[in-house]
A and B are shown apart, each in its own frame.
Chain A
Amino acid sequence: MEAKVHLSQNKKAKAKNTMVTILLYSQIILVCFIVLIPIIWVIGSSFNPGTTLASAQMFPDNPTLRHYIDLFRDTNYLNWYFNTFKIAVIHTIFSVFLSTSTGYVFSRFVFKGKKAALITMLILQMFPSFMAMVALYVLFLTFGLLDTHWALILIYAAGQIPVNTWVIKGYLTSIPKELDESAMLDGASKLQTFSKIIFPLMKPIISFVAVTAFMTPWMDFIFPRLILSSNANWTLAVGLFDMITGTDMNNYTMFAAGAVLVAIPITILYVAMQKYLIEGVTAGASKG
């Protein structure tokens, strides 16, 4: 008798368990749908034969590669792609060099003005970045750097220093100082200690800095819009924005094709690097 009750209870528990499992799966599948539909929509649109938003279909009846071909033939898309890539790579190199050196110095040394410098950087980072727009415009105008990519690289590379210094400094607290001290006891100079001992240990946080730096020019719109005036010099963000809102406002499908070609590599990179990205964010905030 007792065993029977136990059995039916067990059955009930099992049924409940299955119910919960089904609920959980349906929630996940539902959210996946919500996430995927806009993405499938933009991919599908890019293969549509028409050019307007009104005629675009998620699953086109006669899929075509026309817009991809037009993109390369009729617009400066390839230029924009290359420009963005070039800025991204140079900016990444600059960022890694600039912020690892400052982050290291701030985490390891005690020196005059350290406190003031750290607080100043924190304050600088709180200003909305485009507050600097007008001044930077005049500055680059004066030095003849308007409509060049170097202007953008300089803005980005300088702008990332405060945040990344803090993030790297935070990360380095997890690497014991004894490592530095023993290296110096062995007669290594400060520069050698940094470049030979600490720098290789910073791989995760350098990946974080590098990925975020690499992403910046693909996402940023305000500064390229301000500085790059000639179409051939644009970055992708400006070019894609112009496709939707500019004179060819109707060319939705071409925008879709352009968007797909940008999104694929960037998304893959992001998903592949997500571990480092999350680690970097938490290093900056909590470990501090």
Chain B
Amino acid sequence: MKKPTLAAAMSALVWGSGQIYNKQLAKGLAFFAIQMTLIAVEMLGGNYFSGAFEFREAGFFVSGIWGMITLGTQLSELTYQGMTPGDHSVMLLLQGIIAVIILLLVAAIWFGNVKDAYQTAKNFNETGMVLSSKKWLKDTWEKSFEYIMMVPAGLMLVFFVAMPIIFAVVIAFTNHNLHNMPPANLIEWVGLRNFRFLFSIGDIPGGDMWLHTFTNIFIWTIIFAVVSTIVPFFLGLFQAVILNNKRIKFKKLWRSILILPWAMPAIISQLNFRQIFNGRFGPFNRFFMNIGLMDPYSPIEWLSDPRNPWLPRGTILVIGFWLGFPYWMALMSGLMTSISKDVYEAAEIDGASEGQQFWKITLPMVIAMAAPLLVMSFAFNFNNFGLIYFLTEGGPINVNFIHAGQTDILISWIFSLTMDEMMYNLASAMSIIIFIIIGSLSAWNFARTKAFKEEL
């Protein structure tokens, strides 16, 4: 007779001991080894056995968690005895996050270990049998196949996608910026100060100018995202309809030409357009100068006119149409051919004209099918960094904005705040705001799809 609760309690304290009590030696030792590794990493990695204890010198997990809470307490200083030990707030924060993630994974294994000890003992009481560790391994492989398959992808997601995002989110609650750069300075937790600053709540000097910049850029971002989703969509639809007209011969040839803007690497087209629309030397203006339609001494600065922000913005939008319509054209052609021929035959028998067939059948069906893609495209354009950055790098400069130009959208503004101005805290705070906008939109979009309703 085995006592399930005893087995579970043993395993809870000393991993694997419950399994050994259940006579599953190999499995027990495996669990025990995991626990020992964990303890060894902590004890041997830290400085536990030489007098005065300091959190700074504890092992990976303890010092990580301490570091995450305090963000470091002392700076390295140069004294006549050499450099004193100092804290690097960012490294500590990162270490803390990694430590917490690993501990959570370990906790999951620990839980499995306790549950397994309990279950095996209970099974033994009922059936009088204990699986050998080898048989157990084979069973587990087949039973946990789905989990095991996901381990590599899961680990990569946790460490290269989730962890950095968590880090970025928590940075929004610190004062990490150009003036607080480890290792020269320590950074501190500041609560919601960055958000209050962004929205000008309370008296933080300079806040109103931020709000001004933020509001303006935000409005332009929305306009930019909406226009560069809707217009290419309809241009593409229009082009697909014309291309698929039965009067047109050599469809394949035309299609291959028209699809080029989508097929070419976007960065190359964008950098190329930046040159083509150069005010003084660009071929576009030179052409008009040569035929005498433009004064060479006051050319139109398509992408850099400092007086009228809507000129560079408009140019960007038009270039976006060029880049964007072929995707929709290709997609629409695909969707249109997927509509069953029977529908059209039935319509023809009922005497519907070509035009009626298009407006009453093709268009509504195609739009219904493309709707989720439209929302995805909006989310993409909202963060369409390349179209802005490679054409204008956000310029021309607007003196009333903080570190932003006339054509900057949120994403390119955040990029320069991070890369050039090192305002990590504010950049993170704004990323969170973007995420809330895009996230709720996509979630709403997704919740309406068939996939979601069926699956969850």
Interface residues of A (CB under 8 A from B): 17, 20-21, 24-25, 27-28, 31-32, 34-36, 38-39, 41-42, 52-54, 56, 58, 97-99, 101-102, 104-105, 108-109, 111, 115, 117-124, 126-128, 130-136, 138-139, 142, 154-155, 157-159, 161-162, 165, 170, 189-191, 194, 215, 218-219, 221-222, 225-226, 237, 240-241, 244-245, 252, 255-256, 259, 262-263, 266-267, 270-271, 274, 277-279, 281-282, 285-288
> 10 A–B contact pairs at CB < 8 A?
A41-B276, A124-B165, A127-B435, A128-B431, A128-B435, A134-B168, A266-B264, A274-B259, A282-B373, A286-B450
Whole-angstrom distance between the Cβ of B8 and the nearest chain A Cβ: 20
Bitwise interface map of B from 222 to 263 toward A, beta carbon under 8 Å scored 1, else 0? 000000000000000001001101011000001011111111
> Would you call B150 an interface residue if the criterion is a C-beta within 8 Å of the partner chain's C-beta atoms?
yes
Whole-angstrom distance between the Cβ of B89 and the nearest chain A Cβ: 11
The answer, among A38, A54, A109, A226, for a CB contact under 8 Å with B276, is A38
> Would you call B442 an interface residue if the criterion is a C-beta within 8 Å of the partner chain's C-beta atoms?
yes
B242 with A27: CB separation less than 8 A: yes
Asked if A139 meets B165 with Cβ closer than 8 Å, knowing A126-B442, A241-B267, the reply is no
Asked if A139 meets B94 with Cβ closer than 8 Å, knowing A21-B247, A101-B149, A158-B156, the reply is yes
Asked if A288 meets B449 with Cβ closer than 8 Å, knowing A142-B94, A240-B271, the reply is yes
CA distance A102 to B152 in the complex (A): 9
A53 with B160: CB separation less than 8 A: no
How many B residues, CB 8 Å from partner? 95
Asked if A288 meets B94 with Cβ closer than 8 Å, knowing A121-B157, A132-B168, the reply is no
Asked if A133 meets B145 with Cβ closer than 8 Å, knowing A139-B164, A263-B265, the reply is no
Nearest A residue to B280 by beta-carbon distance? A54
> Would you call B195 an interface residue if the criterion is a C-beta within 8 Å of the partner chain's C-beta atoms?
no
Asked if A134 meets B265 with Cβ closer than 8 Å, knowing A99-B153, A158-B157, the reply is no
8 A-B pairs closest in CB distance? A288-B451, A132-B164, A135-B167, A270-B263, A135-B164, A158-B160, A54-B281, A158-B156
Most chain B CB inside 10 Å of its own CB: which residue of A27, A240, A241, A267: A267
A259 with B268: CB separation less than 8 A: yes
Given pairs A38-B269, A131-B428, 16 additional interface contacts (CB within 8 A): A31-B258, A39-B264, A54-B280, A56-B283, A124-B157, A130-B411, A132-B167, A133-B418, A158-B160, A161-B157, A218-B265, A221-B386, A271-B260, A281-B331, A282-B335, A288-B455
Set of chain B residues within 8 Å of A121, measured between Cβ atoms:
157
Whole-angstrom distance between the Cβ of A26 and the nearest chain B Cβ: 11
A38 with B273: CB separation less than 8 A: yes
B243 with A124: CB separation less than 8 A: no
Whole-angstrom distance between the Cβ of B281 and the nearest chain A Cβ: 4
Set of chain B residues within 8 Å of A124, measured between Cβ atoms:
157, 161-162, 165
A126 with B164: CB separation less than 8 A: no
Set of chain A residues within 8 Å of B454, measured between Cβ atoms:
288
Asked if A237 meets B267 with Cβ closer than 8 Å, knowing A222-B385, A271-B259, the reply is yes
